[in-house]
Amino acid sequence: MRLGVLDIGSNTVHLLVADVRPGGRPQARTSKRTVLRLMRYLEPDGSISDDGVRALVSAVTEAVAVSRTENVVELLATATSAVRDATNGAAVIAAIEEALGQDLQVLGGESEARFTFLAVRRWFGWSAGQILLFDIGGGSLEVAAGSDELPDVAASVPLGAGRMTVQFLSDDPPGEGAVERLREHARETLRPIVKGMSGAPRPDHVVGSSKAIRSLAKLAGYPVPGWSGIERMTLPRAALGSWIPRLARIPASARQELPGITADRTFQIVAGAVVLHEAMRAFDVDELEVSPWALREGVLLRYIESLSWSAPTA
For residue 3, what are the contacts with CB-CB under 8 A and spacing of at least 6? 17, 18, 19, 20, 26, 72, 73, 74, 75, 76, 300, 303, 304
Which residues are registered as beta bridge partners of 75?
4
**Dihedral (C-alpha) 169, 181, 255, 263: value to the nearest 10 degrees?**
-40
Q: What is the pLDDT of residue 314?
A: 44
How far, in whole angstroms, is CA 269 from its chain's centroid?
Answer: 13
Residue 255 vs residues 67, 204, 214, 233, 278: alpha-carbon distances, Å: 33, 33, 15, 20, 21
Domains and CATH numbers, the chain: 2-106 (3.30.420.40), 109-296 (3.30.420.150)
What gap in Å lies between CA 226 and CA 312, rounded to an integer?
Answer: 38
* One pLDDT digit (tens) per residue for the chain, 314 residues: 899 999 999 889 999 999 988 777 889 999 999 998 888 899 999 999 999 999 999 999 999 999 999 999 999 999 998 899 999 999 999 999 999 999 999 999 999 999 999 999 999 999 999 999 999 999 999 999 999 999 999 999 999 999 999 999 999 999 999 999 999 999 999 999 999 999 889 999 999 999 999 999 999 999 876 654 456 899 999 999 999 999 999 999 999 999 999 888 899 999 999 999 999 999 999 999 999 999 999 999 998 888 755 545 44
Helix (H, G, I), strand (E, B) or coil at 33: strand
Other Cβ atoms less than 10 A from the Cβ of 90: the count is 10
- For the chain, the straight-line distance linking the first and the last C-alpha, in angstroms and rounded, comes to 21
Q: What is the pLDDT of residue 104?
A: 97
DSSP-derived secondary structure letter, 222: E
Q: Model pTM?
A: 0.92
Q: What is the pLDDT of residue 228?
A: 46
Angle at 62 between CA 60 and CA 64, to 5 degrees: 70
Rounded to 5 degrees, what are φ and ψ at 194? -60, -45
Q: How many residues does the chain have?
A: 314
Q: Are 63 and 34 in contact (CB under 8 A)?
A: yes
- Judged on CB neighbours under 10 Å (0-12, 13-18, 19+), 153 is middle
Q: What is the pLDDT of residue 313?
A: 45
